[in-house]
Structures are given as structure tokens and as C-alpha cells.
Structure 1
Amino acid sequence: MNSDHEVINTVLNKLLELTQSFVLQLETKSSDEAENFVDQRQVLVEQLQEILNNQEMDHQQQDELKRILGWDERIQGHMLSLKNEAQQWLIQRSAARSQRSVYENNYAVDSYLMDKRK
């Protein structure tokens, strides 16, 4: 039982370190780095869930988890910002493509050009 308690602390510490290191440089994190963070965090969360099937957290551990989860709003805000940025890029790219297609000549290969003389 004591070892489960220590394992919970270990996983919480890893989760804290991962979250703090991500949040400290949050504004410079790319979408790939955010995705990597989410993947790493998910592994730790799954480990924690597995342990919690057999052992409950004490109050100190619950407080630590709440503190870690307290950064989620900032993290989600940054991820939403990245999503909106990517969405804007796609919209601009689509608009540029449609504008460009208006000016590109799409002549059929077998077409003829006829001039009339006056």
C-alpha cells in the first residue's frame, strides 16, 4: 500500500514537471510540440488511472493534482489559438487558390482560337 502511495507521488511529480516545462514556454510552443505534450501527458494519466484502481489518493496528492490541472485552462487556450491560426491559414490558402484559378487559363487541349477580321 505504501509503495502505491509512492508510485502515485512519482507519477504526479512527472506530470508536474512535464506540465510546468510546457507552460513555462507556452507561447513559443508549436502545434507539434503541443501534440507531443498531450501524448506524453496521456501516458502519465493512464498510469495514474491504473494505480487509482487499487489505491486512493490522499488529500495532499489530490491538492497536487488540482494544482497541476489548474494550468489546463492556459494550455487549452494556447491550443485553441494554434487551432485558430491553422484554420485561418487554411481559409487564406483556399481563398488564394480560388482567386488564382480565376486568372489561370483553363483552355481545353482541342480548342481553337478564332479571330474575326473587320
Structure 2
Amino acid sequence: MTQPIVAIIGRPNVGKSTLFNKIAGSRIAIVEDTPGVTRDRIYADCEWTSKKFTLIDTGGIEPYSKDSIFAQMRRQAQIAVEMAEVIVFVVDGREGMNASDQEVANWLRKSPAKVLVAGDK
């Protein structure tokens, strides 16, 4: 039996990789204040409250960017969303949701996965 997959999704620099490392219990993902450090999907086998699952960290989604690197990061996030049974949508709790967050939220609504919203920072 395969483990459930949980994907962490959100804009750049909202704390996705920090949350990933915390849940994974190890510094697997690089954490920087610079947007675009995480570009590919990063996986970790995790256990939380006696439940095992695979966790995926993704690069930040910039829905309005035309930059080819951000386009590739969006594609990597899309793959993670398609694989996931649960999505943790991370937003910056200090800023609240902005237009980019709303665009990502609209995209996530189309996924059959369960979506949890987490405020960070």
C-alpha cells in the first residue's frame, strides 16, 4: 500500500520550506529569504500523529510571472498537486491573501485533493 501524499503549495517566501523541514524533522529543504531557491519538488517520508505519508515541498508559485524559471516552478507545483491527496496552501499571515494567493486558491479549487490553508510568519 502506498502512503498518502501531502503537497505544500504557495507563493514564494511564505514559509513552505520551513514548514516542510519542521514536519520532516530535518533540514532537507534550503531555506532562504530569496524567492526562487526551491525550484524542483523535494520529497520526505514523514510521520505525524502515527500516520505515515509522503510530503512534497514545492517552489513558490508566481501566477502572473512570464519568467521561464517561474513557469517551470509552476509546472513542478502542478505535478505535485496532481499527485497529492492533501494540499497545504501556505499564505503569509501577516500580509493576508493578495491577488497571487487568490489566483493560486482558484487553481487549487479545481483539484480533487483536500486543501488546508495554513498561515505562516
Higher helix fraction (1 or 2): 1
Q: What TM-score, normalized by structure 2, do the two folds share?
A: 0.28
Query: Which of 1 and 2 has higher RCO (CA within 8 Å, sep 6+)?
Result: 1
Q: What TM-score, normalized by structure 1, do the two folds share?
A: 0.29
